[in-house]
Amino acid sequence: MNIAVAVRLMPKAGDELEVAVSGTDIDRELVEMVISEFDDQALEEAVLLKEATGATVTAVGLRAEGIEQALRVAYARGADRVVVVDAGDIDPFDSRTAALAFAEALRELAPDLVLVGVQTPCDLFGQTAPYLAVALGWPQANVIVGVSVADGTARVTQEYAGGRLAVLGLPLPSVVGVQSASAPPRYVSMSRLRQAMTEASTETLAVSVAAPAGASTLVSLSRPEPQTGATMLDGDGEQVAERIIAILRERGALVH
Amino acid sequence: MGDVLVYVDPAINGRLLAFARPLADAAGGSLVALVASGEPSGVDGLEAADVVLEVSHPALSPYLPEAHQAVLAAAITARAPDLVLVENTTHGYDLAAAAAAAAGLPFVGFCIGLSLEGGTAQSISEVYGGQLQATVRTSLPAVFAMNSAALHEEPGGPGRGERVQLPSPPALEHPRTTFVEPLLPPDAGVDLTTADLIVCVGRGIGGAENIEIAAELASALGAELAASRPVVDAGWLPKVRQIGKSGASVRPKLYLGLGVSGAPEHVEGMQGAELIVAVNTDPGAAIFNVAHYGAVADLFDVADELTELLG
C-alpha cells in the first residue's frame, strides 16, 4: 500500500505575526515556517500505518521557502520518499489552487490513501481534503482521529461536536483529513534529523494548474479588535496572583 | 436577488438560520433550510426558514460525508441560491468546500461576519488561530463556512415555513462510504460541563512535566483541570479534559486560562464562561479578546503564587 501525506507550511507556534506592508500577507521575514500542526498529525498516522502494514509513505509538499526542510523532517520521522511539487507561484492563502496542484501530483504518484491535516490556519479558501476528493473523484472524510486499513478499506474514526465518534469505511483510494493521530507525533532526535538531512533525496515533480475562475479576493489582513476589552492586570507574578484572588473573592468564585 | 441556502446540521439548532435571516432579507430572496435526514423528520429550530427543503433517504442517517455532499450539491443545482451557508462543524469541514468545488462556486471559510452589497459579499474570516482577520470580497453566488463562535441564538422573525420534498440524488443508492459503528468516548469520570471552576492549560504549559503545576493550582482552587487541543494532541493530558470544538463546551463560573492562545476552535467551547481570566506571555494572544481579565505574565510565576496564596 502506498500512502501519500500532503505537507503544508505554517508559522511556528508562538511566532508573533505582523501584517506585511502589502496588507494582504503576513511579514514572512519575521516567522519560521514549519510543517503545519495537523499535517504533522497526518504524517504520524501514516507512519503508524506503515509500521502496522508495511506501507510506503510519501511526503508531498508544494515548492515554497522552507518546504525542503519540512520534508526532510518528515523523512526523519519515517517517510520513505519526499516529493516537492513545482506548480509555479501560488498565493499562500489560495488553498484551492494549492489543492489542485496536490491533486495533479497525486494523479502521478497514484497512492492508495492520501492523508492530510484537517486544516491549516490559513485555509481561508477551503480545506485540502474535500478539494482533493472532488478533484480526484475519491471518497473522503474529514476531522479524523484514527485510521486503520484492511481488505482494501480504510476504517476511519470521525469526530463530531462534543467528542462524539463514529467509525466509517472508505474504499481505497480515498482521502482522509486528519485532526489527530492515534498517538502523539513521535520525538525525533537531533542526530536522526542530521542524518535525514544527508540521506533524504528530494524528488521534484512539475505540474501545471490554473487558479479557478470567479475566486474570492483577499482585501486585507488585520489584527482583530478586542471584543470585550479585557481589563489587564499589571505587575509581577505575585501582584497578578493577588489581583486574581481578589477578583475571584469579589465574584464569589472561591470556595475557600 | 436570489435565495440564501442554509445546510442544517441536525446535531445543532437553528442558529445558522437566525444568522442568515437578515442576509436573506437584504438580498430580497427566500431563506431556504436544507434538511438531509434518514426519514421525513422532526428537525426543530427551522421556524426562521421561508422554505424547508427536505431530502429523506436511509443513506443520510447515520451521517456519511459522501451522501450529504451529494444532497448539498443537488440542492445548490435545484435552487441556484446566491449564498450557501454551512456551519464549521465536522459536517462543514466535510461538505462546504467540496460542494463549492463540485458546483464551481467560490468558497470562503472561517467566517465570523458577512454582509451583502449588490452582487458581492464582503466577509471577515479568522485566520492564523484568530491572531489575524481577513477581509474578503466575493462575487455571488458563493459558499461560506461560518465559525460556530460567531453564531448567536437570537431568534429572528418566523419565515413562511413552506415544506418542499426534494428527490434524493442517485449517488445515495450506492454510496461508496459505509457506516461501521458509533463509538462512545471513554468515560474517565471527568465531566467538564458540570464544573463550576476550571483551570485550563494551553500550549504555553510547555510539556507534560509541567502539568503538575497546573494540577496543584486546580486542586487548591477546587477546580477541574482542562486543556486546549494542542496539549491533548501532544499526549500531556487525556482527551476527556479537552475544551473546544472537538472537546467539551463549558459554561463555568470561572475559566482560568494558563498559556492558552485562544484559537477560535477553543473559544467556541469556553466563551460562555461567566468569568474568564487569562494569563499569557503574548500580548497579542487572541484569548485576551474574549477574557474579562488578562495578564501578560509568565504562567508559572502566576500559578505558583496563586497556589501558595490559596494554600
Q: What is the pLDDT of residues A124-134, one digit of tens each?
A: 999 999 999 99
Q: Is B31 a domain residue?
A: yes
Give the pLDDT confidence score for residue A183 in this predicted structure. 94
Q: Is B178 a domain residue?
A: no
- Indicate if the alpha-carbon torsion angle A76, A77, A78, A80 is positive or negative: negative
Residues B24 and B168 in one domain: yes
Q: Chain B closest CA to A85's CA: distance in Å?
A: 22
Given a cut of 90, whether residue A14 has pLDDT beyond it is no
Phi, psi of A155 (to 5 degrees): -100, 115
Give the pLDDT confidence score for residue A256 in this predicted structure. 57
Q: Give CA–CA dist B185/B194, Å, rounded.
A: 17
Q: Chain B closest CA to A51's CA: distance in Å?
A: 20
pTM: 0.91
Given a cut of 70, whether residue A220 has pLDDT beyond it is yes
Q: Do A163 and B247 touch (CB under 8 A)?
A: yes
Q: Give CA–CA dist A140/A169, Å, rounded.
A: 10
* Peptide bond preceding A139 in cis form (omega within 30 of 0): no
What is the dihedral angle through the alpha carbons of A114, A150, B94, A136, rounded to the nearest 10 degrees? Answer: 40
pLDDT more than 90, % of chain A: 84
ipTM: 0.93
Own/partner contacts of B190-193, CB < 8 Å, gap of 24 or more, are: B190/B224, B190/B240, B190/B241, B192/B224, B192/B226, B192/B240, B192/B241, B192/B243, B192/B247, B192/B248, B192/B250, B193/B248, B193/B249, B193/B250, B193/B251
Q: Is B177 a domain residue?
A: no
Please, are residues B273 and B251 in contact by the beta-carbon 8 Å criterion?
Answer: yes
Give the pLDDT confidence score for residue B190 in this predicted structure. 85
- Report which secondary-structure segment, H or E, holds B217: helix B211-221
pLDDT range class, residue A29, cuts 50, 70, 90: very high
Given a cut of 80, whether residue A33 has pLDDT beyond it is yes
Residues B203 and B163 in one domain: no
Minimal CA–CA distance to A118: which of A135, A102, A140? Answer: A140
**End-to-end CA, chain A:** 59
Give the pLDDT confidence score for residue B153 in this predicted structure. 63
Q: Give CA–CA dist B240/B185, Å, rounded.
A: 8
B219 neighbourhood in chain A, CB within 8 Å:
none
Per-chain mean pLDDT for chain B: 92
Residues B201 and B103 in one domain: no
Q: Is B182 a domain residue?
A: no
pLDDT range class, residue A161, cuts 50, 70, 90: confident
Please, are residues A67 and A165 in contact by the beta-carbon 8 Å criterion?
Answer: no
Q: How far is CA B114 from CA A64, A113, B147, B266, in A?
A: 32, 36, 11, 22
Residues B128 and B242 in one domain: no
Q: Report the residue count for chain A.
A: 256
Residues B131 and B102 in one domain: yes
- For A187, residues 6+ apart whose C-beta sits below 8 A from its C-beta are none
- For B25, residues 6+ apart whose C-beta sits below 8 A from its C-beta are none
Locate the domains of chain A by residue range: 2-206
Q: Is B44 a domain residue?
A: yes
B302 neighbourhood in chain A, CB within 8 Å:
237, 240-241, 244
B62 neighbourhood in chain A, CB within 8 Å:
166
A228 neighbourhood in chain B, CB within 8 Å:
289-292
Q: Is B187 a domain residue?
A: no
Give the A window 75-134 contacts with B, CB below 8 Å: 93, 96, 118-119, 121-127, 129-131, 133-134
Nearest to A230 among B63, B234, B288 (CB): B288
- Average of per-residue pLDDT across A21-41: 95
Give the pLDDT confidence score for residue A227 in this predicted structure. 61
Given a cut of 60, whether residue A92 has pLDDT beyond it is yes
Q: To probe the interface with A, which of B127, B237, B307 has the most A CB atoms within 10 Å?
A: B127
- For β-strands A2-7 and A56-62, DSSP reports them as parallel
Minimal CA–CA distance to A118: which of A151, A83, A158, A152? Answer: A158
Residues B157 and B8 in one domain: yes
Residues B272 and B197 in one domain: yes
Q: What is the pLDDT of residues A58-68, one digit of tens each?
A: 999 999 999 99
Q: Is B180 a domain residue?
A: no
A215 neighbourhood in chain B, CB within 8 Å:
106
Domain containing B298 — which CATH number? 3.40.50.1220
Q: How far is CA B288 from CA A12, A227, B77, B109, in A?
A: 20, 9, 43, 23
- For A196, residues 6+ apart whose C-beta sits below 8 A from its C-beta are A72, A73, A75, A76
Residues B133 and B8 in one domain: yes
**Residue ranges making up the domain that contains B272:** 192-310
Give the pLDDT confidence score for residue A176 in this predicted structure. 98
- For A193, residues 6+ apart whose C-beta sits below 8 A from its C-beta are A72, A73, A76
- Average of per-residue pLDDT across A65-73: 93
What's A60's DSSP letter? E
Given a cut of 80, whether residue A222 has pLDDT beyond it is yes
Q: Give CA–CA dist A16/A24, Å, rounded.
A: 16
pLDDT more than 70, % of chain B: 95
Residues B51 and B198 in one domain: no
Residue ranges in chain B whose pLDDT is less than 70: 1, 11, 13, 41-42, 153-155, 185-188
Give the B window 182-211 contacts with A, CB below 8 Å: 182-185, 196-197, 203
Residues B140 and B252 in one domain: no
> What strand order describes the sheet that includes B293-296?
A231-232, B293-296, B275-280, B254-258, B197-201, B224-227
Give the pLDDT confidence score for residue B280 in this predicted structure. 95
- Average of per-residue pLDDT across A58-84: 96
> What strand order describes the sheet that includes B162-165?
A217-222, B132-139, B120-127, B107-117, B142-146, B83-87, B4-7, B31-37, B51-56, B162-165
Nearest to B309 among A126, A169, A245 (CB): A245
Given a cut of 60, whether residue A213 has pLDDT beyond it is yes
Domain containing B96 — which CATH number? 3.40.50.620
Q: What is the pLDDT of residues B169-203, one digit of tens each?
A: 999 999 999 999 999 766 667 889 999 999 999 99
| Partner B contacted by A36 (CB < 8 A) | no
Q: Is B90 a domain residue?
A: yes
Residues B156 and B206 in one domain: no
Residues B239 and B129 in one domain: no
Per-chain mean pLDDT for chain A: 93
Q: What is the pLDDT of residues B37-58, one digit of tens each?
A: 988 766 777 888 999 999 999 9
Overall number of domains in chain B: 2
| CATH fold label, A2-206 | Rossmann fold (3.40.50)
